Amino acid sequence: MSLLWTREELEIATGGTFLGNTSVSVTGISIDTRTLAPGDLFIALKGDNSDGHTHIATALEKGAAAVLAHSAEGITDPRILLVPDTMRGLQKLAQAARARFKGKVVAITGSVGKTTTKEMLRLCLAPSGLTHAAEASYNNHWGVPLTLARLPREAAFCISEIGMNHPGEILPLAKMVQPDVAVITTIGSAHLGHMGSLDAIAEEKSSIITALPKGGIAIVPDDAHGRQFFTAAGKKTQAILWPCGANPQSTAHLAHLQTGSDGSRFDVSIQGKTFNVHLPAPGTHLARNAVAALAACAALGADVAKAAAALADFRPGKGRGALIQVAGGTITLLDESYNASAASIRAALDVLRHIPATRRIAVLGDMRELGEFSISEHQALAAPAASAADLVFCCGSYMKTLFDALPPSKQGAWAESAALLAPHVCAALRKGDAVLVKGSLGSRMRDIIAALNALPAVECA
């Protein structure tokens, strides 16, 4: 692995002081000793429920090149770099990494599709140069600076994912990232309970545009709620907006979408040039994510033709739309268990509708962080669920409102939790069924996935 940070660079960047005079060569950064590799800088972050300082000894035993800490009681190892506050130390490290970086940076936000678009863009940019991207969904107050602190100085591209739960969270992170290109995937009702309205969500997401330099490019959805906020943000910073979606008048748009058992095939036009795409995953929402990724490539000056070809290797992440054969190959599972919002559930139901199957079954768990809108947001999904699925199973108190609104012929079963619902789902399955599993992370829909993965071959109900 290449050298990420030297001793001198760490001290200058963080303003900290090592306990002793020792040679330090950092090749990675870790905040979790369970995944720490020799050569990593271990950052002892202190959170509400854990304190990395209790794991300093373990990090040193596992070969950490250095430890960033704000307390080292009883430990005199010269590899410890003391700072007043480790979170602030991480942020300073991120700022130093961004300042020395000579490549191009893209930042991605949106109500849904951030991580999927990031992974598509990672694939798309790879043929044009070394690409560094956020791990998993590292998009919050510690995930964003961690992504930057891990940024190799020799990379050509950096992709940062930026999320939010409350007002005012995006702009500070976007200013840290200093993107050359910004992408907004879509505007939806995720976190509606904290934000209060779709307008507030659109305005918060649009703040990423104000972190662009003059002439920077923002890839924005052409059909999203609150597009006036994109326009206002663009004017504020003199950024250039590239509308993106299915509208033929947009700067980047898809056309001739065809979905089959091997995924989707479509054309993408960007500023008058057309590229053919095969995406081995079905769904209009995934095709739109691909258009946004290719538009970002064009904005960054990457090779778009090679990027489009690279999408043939895309596979949805775990819990994010992967199609899996379970029960000895007799059942098709659409695993969307990672998280859920109204928009993403509608998109997943649309994918379910197009999966070849004897019956289509939807298993849905509560959506979270909707506040006073929880009941109405869940009830509004009853019609699309009944239209896409032959049978619907639900868990959670809010999904009970959706379940009760279904026609009796569509009602599978309801239970308070995913664990209690799983046996009902498994007992109802037949050979040839396709099953969608989706819900917010807190709904623990992975309990349903585990039960389905453990099923023997299914012949009949």
Q: In the structure encoding, which two tokens stand for residue 334, read together?
A: 């659409």
Q: Which range, of 188-192, 303-307, 356-360, averages the lowest pLDDT?
A: 188-192
What lies within 8 Å, CB to CB, of 34 at 6+ separation is none
* Same domain (yes/no): 195, 66: no
Q: In the structure encoding, which two tokens stand for residue 50, read together?
A: 């854990």
Does the annotation list 15 as a binding residue? no
* Same domain (yes/no): 295, 363: no
Does the annotation list 175 as a binding residue? no
pLDDT of residue 459 exceeding 70: no
Domain that holds residue 273: 101-313
Does the annotation list 111 as a binding residue? yes
Evaluate whether residue 461 is within a structural domain: no
Burial of 44 (0-12, 13-18, 19+ CB in 10 A): buried
Whole-number percent of the chain with pLDDT over 70? 99
Average pLDDT over residues 4-31: 97
* Same domain (yes/no): 188, 259: yes
Evaluate whether residue 459 is within a structural domain: no
Average pLDDT over residues 67-90: 94
Does the annotation list 115 as a binding residue? yes
Does the annotation list 113 as a binding residue? yes
Evaluate whether residue 351 is within a structural domain: yes
At 217, is the secondary structure helix, strand, or coil?
Answer: strand
> Average per-residue pLDDT in the chain?
95
Quote the pTM value: 0.92
**What's the pLDDT at 48?**
84
Provide the b/e sequence for 319-350 (b: ≥16 CB within 10 Å). Answer: bbbbbeebbeebbbbbbbbbbbbbbbbbbbbb
Q: In the structure encoding, which two tokens stand for residue 354, read together?
A: 């197009």
pLDDT of residue 49 exceeding 90: no
**What's the pLDDT at 248?**
96
* Helix, strand, coil distribution of the chain in percent, nearest 5: 40, 25, 40
pLDDT of residue 273 exceeding 90: yes
Does the annotation list 62 as a binding residue? no
Residue with tokens 């199609």: 323
List the CATH number of the domain containing 254.
3.40.1190.10
Burial of 269 (0-12, 13-18, 19+ CB in 10 A): middle
Looking at this protein, which amino acid is placed at residue 217? I
| pLDDT tens-place string over residues 109-165 | 999 999 999 999 999 999 999 999 999 889 999 999 999 999 999 999 999 999 998
Evaluate whether residue 96 is within a structural domain: no
**How far apart, in whole angstroms, are the C-alpha atoms of residue 408 and residue 266?**
38
Average pLDDT over residues 421-443: 96
Please, which pLDDT band fits residue 245 given cuts at 50, 70 and 90?
very high
Average pLDDT over residues 177-193: 93
Looking at this protein, which amino acid is placed at residue 103? G
Evaluate whether residue 298 is within a structural domain: yes
**What's the pLDDT at 363?**
98
Average pLDDT over residues 431-449: 96
**What's the pLDDT at 388?**
97
| pLDDT tens-place string over residues 379-398 | 999 999 999 999 999 999 99
Evaluate whether residue 94 is within a structural domain: no
Does the annotation list 116 as a binding residue? yes
